[in-house]
Amino acid sequence: MDRSTLLALRSRLASDNEEFNGSHIGLYNTSQRIKLTYGSDYGLIVRSKRGYGTAVYLDIPCG
């Protein structure tokens, strides 16, 4: 995905606004559940390089 789309997605995932307009709702719900369970320091990390692909990482505490 291009940089502006990636930044918009990251911003949406970081927000507490539940109005997500149906786009990426699964990512948003997963991120919010992780934050509710483990705290606001945790959640999803999305990295993308146009033409190569996109990766989504789960950031959760170990142990």
Q: Considering the entire predicted model, what is its pTM?
A: 0.76
Q: Do residues 31 and 13 lie in contact, with contact meaning Cβ atoms separated by under 8 Å?
A: yes
When divided into structural domains, the chain yields a total of: 1
Structure tokens at 28: 């948003």
Per-residue pLDDT of the chain (63 residues; tens, 9 = 90+): 899 989 988 888 888 766 656 666 888 899 999 999 999 999 999 999 999 999 999 999 987
Q: Which domain holds residue 24?
A: 3-59
Q: Do residues 19 and 12 lie in contact, with contact meaning Cβ atoms separated by under 8 Å?
A: no
